[in-house]
Amino acid sequence: MSNNSEQTVKSAGKKTKRKTKKRTVEPAKTLVIVESPAKAKTIEKYLGNKKYEVMASMGHLRDLPKSQFGIDLEHDFTPKYINIRGKGELIKKLKKAAKKAGKIYLASDPDREGEAIAWHLAHILEMDDQEKCRIVFNEITKQAIKEAVKAPREINLDLVDAQQARRMLDRIVGYKLSPLLWRKIKKGLSAGRVQSVVVRMVCDREIEINKFIAEEYWTIGVKLRGGVKPATFAGELSAISGEKCHINNEEEAMRIAEDLSVQEFVVKEIKKSERKRKAPAPFITSSLQQDAARKLGFTSRRTMMIAQQLYEGINIGRKGPAGLITYMRTDSTRVSEVAQLEAQKYIRNNFGDNYLPEKPPVYSAKKDAQDAHEAIRPTDINLLPNAIEQYLTKEQLKLYRLIWQRFLASQMLPSIHNIVNIAITGGIYTLKASGSILKFDGFTAVYKENDSKKDVVLPEVEQGEILKLRKVLPEQHFTEPPPRYNDASIVKVLEEKGIGRPSTYAPIIDTVLNRGYVVRNGKKFEPTELGFIVLDLLETYFKDIVDIRFTAGLEADLDKIAEGVMEKNELLEHFYVPFAKTLEKAEAEIGHVDIPEEVSDVPCDKCGRMMVIKQGKYSKFLACPGFPECRNTKPILKDTGAVCPLCGGKIVERRTKKGKVFYGCENYPECTFVTWDAPAGKKCTVCGADLLKHRYKNGKVIEYCSNEKCPSLADSGTDLQKKAVKSK
């Protein structure tokens, strides 16, 4: 019987007619699978839920097993993949949705890792390998999503093979070499293909610092006066008898200073020039991590975590979830034409045509850049940081503002400075004075670099003019060792050396910290004794593992696999055959390595044994050697030399659970004095209490009295009073 037919029904002896309603069959929805719920929510908003169902895979669903090696070395390095434990229910839901779907689109992140996730998903959902099911987008905007849905492609198996090769190389090193470290040193250690190189870098820098011998040198500054409108300005001794001066000791410096004080100084030469400073390129992953570390104090891990949130989508009120930035794992400085036109319009309307270059700027990428995605930029330049401040966390706002400012600045004209260099002679001595005045701010109207300097104005002097000497200022200096690495500098070196890829920098740093090979002291990385021991073993037997050029060469080979010019198994075999022979030799030759324990002079207050110094995740601490019978531990308190203003006890350096340094009284908890600000090593001239040193985010440093009742605080303004009150 058709749905449109009329049915005749007998009721109470009468015949009545009724029409049946036409049943409509709902068309099957298209299933779109992404990696995270936040991303799913944002994309569903643009596609609508009538025709599309958007679900999240929560990252990888299949991987090599944790409990076994998982690679068949005898049969062409065949990997054994299993469903990840705990993802069973999610897999069931995805399979159920896939059966009902008319089409399936796999929309994981547009990189090798995302391609591999899509490949694993296709296997789990029993999809055809040749099916055009893969969609990618550089930004989560309505236009980008709609265009991606219109242009699905097949899964790129070359990219998948590159990811598999990296994963399998790391598994070979980790699962073959780590057990050796367990047997020879101690349990729980690991060695990684890239992490070991980072440990070497940190250890090598520490050795360099320890070997460094500081050398004394002196500079001599002068205060001169002259010009049409006489003014005092600074100069510096640069040459003696035409040769660049090198002053090595106080005696020599004082002799020269005395001789300078009786010379007549004449303006010999005036050079005026114009210096242009180009805008920096829009962010790529590495430069974002470096700038966020320098300007915001973010670790690489935190930067990438917050950037991921901004990319996947933030709920911004009536507009709902919106992706605020483009994909944050990229090595390309390329920018779409649409984004450049939007930036030009914004600059024209808010700054004027004189800030716009004749042609949109093009920035060159690194030689080995994959150039798969655009640079990191805001998806909508008109979405101002201040306009969406209420919807973002403080950290999200800081990073979004940094990205927004950097991109807008990259589309603007260079800044221009007028430079003046004056050469001054006095007998056998040559002095120099330099001035710089900002003529046109250009991109700096939006984005300030860390080394931005204030104007230095020199008086208008004339060639041949005689200047008056006001003061000679000899100053002692000492050469300094190379600084320890921090998040910004280590990422910069990893990028320059071609070690790892931008997406791997943050997890690499996390791994060496978590394994205890390196600790973060403030913002600097320091190697531990364990790090040196493991590195020594690796350098003796596995030179390639810790060799920077070898590791960089492997990265280049992985790129070749992604480009389809090298086979995955070719790389694996080339690496594994010599590695296996070295592993066998090391197993036979290495004896057990004892890690010496440093005994302190502090007795355990529970069992009386002398406590030993152990290395924790963030710093060293005292532990009872009677473990596990006695589990007593104590923090190592570093005396700062300052005195507590409340009880007269010592102010010591302490650390939070996350390793952040603060300062407090040794008599805690009886005395509650605590402050984030370090003692300045000086006494207050008003009350004699110790001064504390507060550093602002803009780099400004102030010193204030630790005694909140000191009159100097009231005289210095409410800001210092607040600092003193907060420290209690």
Active-site annotation, residues: 327
Tokens of 673: 């004095």
Residues with Cβ < 8 Å from 8, sequence gap 6 or more? Answer: 15, 16, 17
Residues with Cβ < 8 Å from 588, sequence gap 6 or more? Answer: none
For the four alpha carbons of 298, 303, 305 and 307, in that order, the dihedral sign comes to positive
3-state secondary structure 608-643: CCEEEEEECCCCEEEECCCCCCCCCEEECCEEEEEE
Whether the Cβ atoms of residue 240 and residue 426 lie closer than 8 Å to each other: no
Distance CA 108, CA 105 (A): 9
Tokens of 132: 């055009």
Tokens of 467: 């200047």
The secondary element (H helix, E strand) that includes residue 523 is none
Using CB atoms within 10 Å of the CB of residue 422, give its burial: 0 to 12 exposed, 13 to 18 middle, 19+ buried.
buried
Residue among 475, 310, 273, 453 at smallest CA distance from 388: 310
Hunting for tokens 């990684």 — which residue is that? 192
Residues with Cβ < 8 Å from 593, sequence gap 6 or more? Answer: 184, 185, 533, 537
Distance CA 238, CA 261 (A): 16
Contacts for 645-653 with beta carbons within 8 Å, 24 or more apart? 645/673, 645/689, 645/690, 645/706, 645/707, 645/708, 646/671, 646/672, 646/673, 646/728, 647/671, 647/673, 651/679, 651/690
Q: How far is CA 459 from CA 144, 225, 230, 237, 463, in A?
A: 56, 9, 7, 19, 13
DSSP per residue over 578-612, as a string? HHHHHHHHHHHH--PPP-PPEEEEEEPTTT-PEEE
Using CB atoms within 10 Å of the CB of residue 687, give its burial: 0 to 12 exposed, 13 to 18 middle, 19+ buried.
middle
Distance CA 404, CA 326 (A): 11
For 191, half-sphere exposure in the C-beta direction (CA atoms, 13 angstrom radius) is 31
DSSP, res 457: P
